[in-house]
Amino acid sequence: MTRKPDFHVPATEDFDSPHALFADLRGRCPVAWSNDLGGFWAVTSHADAKRVLEDWRLFTTTVQNVVPPVATTQRRPPLHLDPPDNIPYRNAILRFLTPQRLEAWRPRIATMVARFLDPWVAKGGGDICADFSFLLPIALLAEFFNLPPDDAERIRMVGSEFNMALQRQDLDTLRAKSDELYDIARSLIEDRVAHPRDPDTDPTASLLAVRVDGQPLAPDLVLGALRQFLLVGIIAPTTFIGSMAVHLARHPEDHAQLTANPDLVPEATEELLRLYTPYRGFARTAREDTELGGRQIKAGEALAIVFTSANRDAAIFADPDRFRLDRPARDLLTFGRGPHMCPGAPLARLLLQEVLRQLTTRTARLTLTAEVEMTRWPEYGPLRAVFNATPR
């Protein structure tokens, strides 16, 4: 259905312009319709975003899970299934993310961050996205899934091309790259079937070992889940690390404060996750006609949960555009809420805290040397951000 639009998705954006647009929408029209990107409601306030995320009976993920929609006939659990069907897939990886297991990751992550960051700092900086933040999450994912080095390299190439095609809305390439990611997932499953591993130490073996009512999960859904796991944890950390670096360059006083007080890093990471929330286009579809934020939503219409906006809602966060370490408990939506809340959040936090710690202890100053190139929906953050890095 074509409605009169409340806003247009801009053709070009800079680091600040999405926040200006969302502040305007929160003020005049917090649930706002756009005819762009396939037609969708942008849910920009914290309260409405929370309601949509929690009311999974009314707002399903099974139809369209991102804005813009990515045409695909295949379902990828757990995100593409409503409860309770999504739960076994979540549980298969949640067992690897207990506090005890995460503690074991801490030193490995520190080594990994140094491996990629040290050369970047030593050469005086460069594009932090291409040279550092795209390499690091894939390296972590490869270790997490016990991937052979060749597969990790292939995911790096294909994941990058997939992301570029998504940015350009080049649907043919997007489908081709998605198929390649499926091929990687399929060969990983074939390998684990041929050479069984312990489900307690290998996430793919864990997925294969799940039983529901005594039955294994459907093979096409196991494949879809693995394909989702291989990409979903890569893109957000990549863009978000770029945003952290842009913040440090624009606010050398915050950089200096963290250099002098590394204990503040966990708190600072939370505040940066609030300010530069990397996802704005995870979607739901209304099952029935309903009302949200004073607007009439029709059954079948898509809603984008604009996490990037909800986390700057002044109704929840006083002085929302400022970096403040003295906030009372934050009701952050960065990692979602409800039945699809990000299971990778604790691992992502460990990684991002370590990046911020090393960035602020290994460099004395970051200076942007060119205009930041931004990602588009469904993400927010730099696609390319070039810095001079002054080593300490």
Q: Where do contacts with ligand HEM occur on this chain (CB under 6 A)?
A: 53, 61, 78-79, 86, 90, 229, 232-233, 236-237, 240, 278-279, 282, 307, 334-336, 340, 342-344, 347-348
Q: Which is nearer to ligand HEM, 177 or 340 (CB)?
A: 340
Q: What is the DSSP letter of 279?
A: B
Helical spans, DSSP H, in the chain: 17-28, 46-54, 87-94, 99-122, 128, 135-144, 149-168, 171-194, 203-209, 219-250, 252-260, 265-275, 307-310, 345-362
**Minimum separation from the CB atom of position 228 to ligand HEM (A):** 6
CB of 366 to ligand HEM, least distance (A): 20
* Residue 130: burial class (beta carbons within 10 Å; 0-12, 13-18, 19+): middle
Q: Which is nearer to ligand HEM, 1 or 242 (CB)?
A: 242
Helix (H, G, I), strand (E, B) or coil at 135: helix
- Comparing CB distances to ligand HEM, the nearer of 78 and 320 is 78
Q: Which is nearer to ligand HEM, 133 or 360 (CB)?
A: 133
Is the Cβ of residue 65 or residue 360 nearer to ligand HEM in the bound state? 65
Is residue 43 helix, strand or coil?
strand
Q: Provide, rounded to whole angstroms, the least separation between the CB of residue 147 and ligand HEM.
A: 13
Taking the complex as a whole, how short is the minimal distance between the CB of residue 273 and ligand HEM, in angstroms?
Answer: 7
- Of 45 and 86, nearer to ligand HEM (C-beta) is 86
Q: How far is the CB of 309 from ligand HEM (least distance, A)?
A: 13
Q: Which is nearer to ligand HEM, 182 or 335 (CB)?
A: 335
- At closest approach, how far in Å is the CB of 241 from ligand HEM? 9
Long-range contacts, stretch 20-29, CB < 8 angstroms, 24+ apart: 22/306, 22/308, 22/309, 22/312, 23/309, 23/312, 23/321, 25/309, 26/309, 26/312, 26/313, 26/314
Shortest distance (Å) from residue 165 CB to ligand HEM: 21
| 138 in Cβ contact with 213 (< 8 Å) | no
How would you classify residue 231: left for phi > 0, otherwise alpha for psi between -120 and 50, otherwise beta?
Answer: alpha
Return phi, psi of residue 364, to 5°: -90, -25
Q: Is the dihedral of CA 163, 165, 169, 175 positive or negative?
A: negative
DSSP structure string for 89-119: HHHHHHTT-SHHHHHHHHHHHHHHHHHHHHH
Q: Is 239 or 363 the residue whose CB approaches ligand HEM more closely? A: 239
Contact 79, 86 (CB under 8 A): yes
What is the nearest approach in angstroms of ligand HEM to the Cβ of residue 104?
15
